[in-house]
Structure 1
Amino acid sequence: MNDPTTWEFNALGTSWGVALGRSVPDDLKSAITAELDRIDLMWSRFRDDSTVAEMATTTGRFPIPSSDQPVIDLHRTLYEVTGGMVTPMVGQTLDDAGYDSTYSLRPAEVIAAVPLWDDVLAGWQGELDVVRPVLIDIGATGKGFAVDRVAQLVREHGFDEFLVDGSGDIRSGDHPHRIGLEHPTDPTKAIGTVVIENNAICASAGNRRAWADWHHIVDPRSGGPTREVLATWAIAEDTMTADGLATALFFTSPQKLLSHFDFDYVVVRANGTVEHSHARELELFL
């Protein structure tokens, strides 16, 4: 976003932009900062004082803020729909692979296997009942959830026309915005554009967080990175859902996901094929 009235800042380990078409008020900035700090303290696996860090070392019951319950609910739905392929239990695997709190990017000799959900959590409604210490990673939906929380604060402060960009997880208010779809192997190019208005778009690609022979999208069956899909985009009513579906498309066909969710999509596969729906004003340069 190059609008001079865009507030640009860093949070949750990445870059953000909030555009209102005018300067962002200080009280809104404060509210956004406080909410993102709260989310980070609850869910970050990159800090040793987070609730997630505590769950990685001890069992017990950990309350889930009511505002955050949808994150776990969506993760569970995606877990079931994808046959366990989209799971928040990948944290230790990613940590061992080098995507850790210090961003060492050096894989360990032994990489932890991804545990089954029901082997580590006895319950997840209102609280996480941890029966075996587990390093949770909500990366499949977490940033999208945070974008939605920011968008909610923007509306609560009286702004209906806005664009919230959490490092590529984007939600639009009551005004259309044309979004470019970054080429999965050349970030200087786009493979197309799409218009969003009162909805959201999220992308996922193995080239964005890649190191050694790894990237951040792990196949729980092999304990290694996925290989068959290069990049995905999902367009949905809210950013959290779009974020989760962008990850799910690495493992599950769009048709199967469409039986559970209402969304549009673009999938670029490693064999060069492209599969897409017919979203509003979706233009692909193929």
Structure 2
Amino acid sequence: MTIWRFDAIGTRWEIEGELTDADRAAVAAEIERFDREWSRFRADSEVTRLGDAGGGFGSTDAGPMLDAYREVSAATRGAVNPLVGASLEALGYDASYTLHAGEPVAAPAEWTGLVSWTAQAVKASAPVLIDVGALGKGRLVDLVFDLLGHVPGDLVVDAGGDLRVRGGAVRTALEHPFNSARAIGVVELRDAALCGSAINRRAWGDGLHHVLDARTGQPVRTWAATWALGAETMAADAVATALFFDGGPALAASWGIEWVRMSTDGRAERSAGWPGELFLARPLGRGSRS
């Protein structure tokens, strides 16, 4: 099986499978389409335009992503919110990567009053900066995976550690968030998706990182890393974000997703059905809260 490596949407991709030149061109076009619509780091993107002037745009991703955001937001009592873009910018994680932190800014709590959507379009009643970082990469992995559904044999689509596998088992380590040379566990993926999130990724300044509580605009402090395992990547990506907050385990249970999370003081927890090996972890029942 051949491996195609390339950079896109700010991360490293690896796709394993018997791809043709036409397959690669189709993947590149789909990634460009998604990025042009949803990247807040592009001056020419649709969400940047909404952040400047409001309005709307058509996208087949609007319904799936914003429907999921509504569920995740409800489960985490507003901690996860697609209008967290301005909060990230306030802390320096902006389109220019200034990484110069100002005062934290909470995201609008009633975001569904500002943003409306259908299955194929989104509209903002006022200028608001949408950030789909909680699940957007997972959505794109699913899109690329489905686009390559005709490829024969095994297939692996990996976007910076968020991956979806078809066929033979792929053994994957869960990287320790404070020591990249270590793992806190391993899991074998077969016809499944795995997503992770950690505060050591996209971190800058003194304790600043990309995982924010939208209610305060402050970086989370209790959990250091999360992993979520499910059938589709977008759902796993969303749960990996939700697990930084109360309500995350219950959401995972309702969506049929198994999970692991590690606290900033070194404790590890897992769902009762987690299929992989963990080190120094204690199992929680489905829907349990720490």
Normalising by structure 1, report the TM-score: 0.92
Query: Whole-Å Cα distance in 1 between the matches of residues 273 and 5 of structure 2?
Result: 29
Counterpart in the other structure of 2:107: 114
* Equivalent pair of 1:206/1:216 in contact (CA under 8 Å): yes
Q: For 1:151, which of 145, 148, 154 is the aligned residue?
A: 145
* Equivalent pair of 2:198/2:225 in contact (CA under 8 Å): yes
Counterpart in the other structure of 1:86: 80
Structure with higher strand content: 2
Secondary structure of the corresponding residue to residue 45 of structure 1: coil
Counterpart in the other structure of 1:208: 201
Q: For 1:166, which of 141, 159, 168 is the aligned residue?
A: 159
Q: Is 2:203 aligned against 1:195?
A: no
* Equivalent pair of 2:62/2:119 in contact (CA under 8 Å): no
Give the stretch that moved more between structures: 276-285 or 194-203. Answer: 276-285
Counterpart in the other structure of 2:231: 237
Secondary structure of the corresponding residue to residue 89 of structure 1: coil
Query: Whole-Å Cα distance in 1 between the matches of residues 115 and 247 of structure 2?
Result: 27
Cα drift, residue 278 of structure 1: 4.5
Query: Whole-Å Cα distance in 1 between the matches of residues 143 and 216 of structure 2?
Result: 34
Cα drift, residue 222 of structure 1: 2.1
- Identify if the C-alpha distance between structure 1 residues 128 and 229 changes in structure 2 by more than 3 Å, giving closer, same or farther: same
1:1-286 → structure 2 map (5 Å cutoff): 5-20=2-17, 22=18, 24-63=19-58, 65-108=59-102, 110-116=103-109, 117-156=111-150, 158-213=151-206, 214-279=208-273, 281-286=275-280
RMSD value over aligned CA atoms?
1.7
* Equivalent pair of 2:239/2:248 in contact (CA under 8 Å): no
Query: Structure 1: which 5+ runs fail to align?
Result: none
* Equivalent pair of 1:195/1:280 in contact (CA under 8 Å): no
Query: Whole-Å Cα distance in 1 between the matches of residues 47 and 133 of structure 2?
Result: 12
* Equivalent pair of 1:72/1:124 in contact (CA under 8 Å): no
- Can you list the C-alpha shifts for 1:229-255, whole angstroms capped at 9, x where unaligned? 011000011000000000000012454
Cα drift, residue 217 of structure 1: 0.5
Give the stretch that moved more between structures: 258-267 or 44-53. Answer: 258-267
Secondary structure of the corresponding residue to residue 179 of structure 2: coil
Give the stretch that moved more between structures: 249-258 or 96-105. Answer: 249-258
Secondary structure of the corresponding residue to residue 25 of structure 2: helix
Cα drift, residue 126 of structure 1: 3.4
Cα drift, residue 68 of structure 1: 4.5
Cα drift, residue 162 of structure 1: 0.9
- Identify if the C-alpha distance between structure 1 residues 230 and 180 changes in structure 2 by more than 3 Å, giving closer, same or farther: same
- Identify if the C-alpha distance between structure 1 residues 102 and 59 changes in structure 2 by more than 3 Å, giving closer, same or farther: closer
Secondary structure of the corresponding residue to residue 34 of structure 2: helix
Query: Whole-Å Cα distance in 2 between the matches of residues 199 and 111 of structure 1?
Result: 37
Cα drift, residue 189 of structure 1: 1.1
Query: Whole-Å Cα distance in 2 between the matches of residues 133 and 269 of structure 1?
Result: 36
- Identify if the C-alpha distance between structure 1 residues 221 and 41 changes in structure 2 by more than 3 Å, giving closer, same or farther: same
Tell me the amino acid that sits aligned with residue 251 of structure 1: F
- Can you list the C-alpha shifts for 1:256-283, whole angstroms capped at 9, x where unaligned? 2145210110011123221112556411
- Can you list the C-alpha shifts for 1:186-243, whole angstroms capped at 9, x where unaligned? 0111111001111100001000111113100111222110000011000011000000
Tell me the amino acid that sits aligned with residue 41 of structure 2: F
Secondary structure of the corresponding residue to residue 266 of structure 1: strand
Normalising by structure 2, report the TM-score: 0.91
Query: Whole-Å Cα distance in 1 between the matches of residues 245 and 107 of structure 2?
Result: 16
Count residues in correspondence: 278
Tell me the amino acid that sits aligned with residue 205 of structure 2: A
Give the stretch that moved more between structures: 8-17 or 247-256. Answer: 247-256
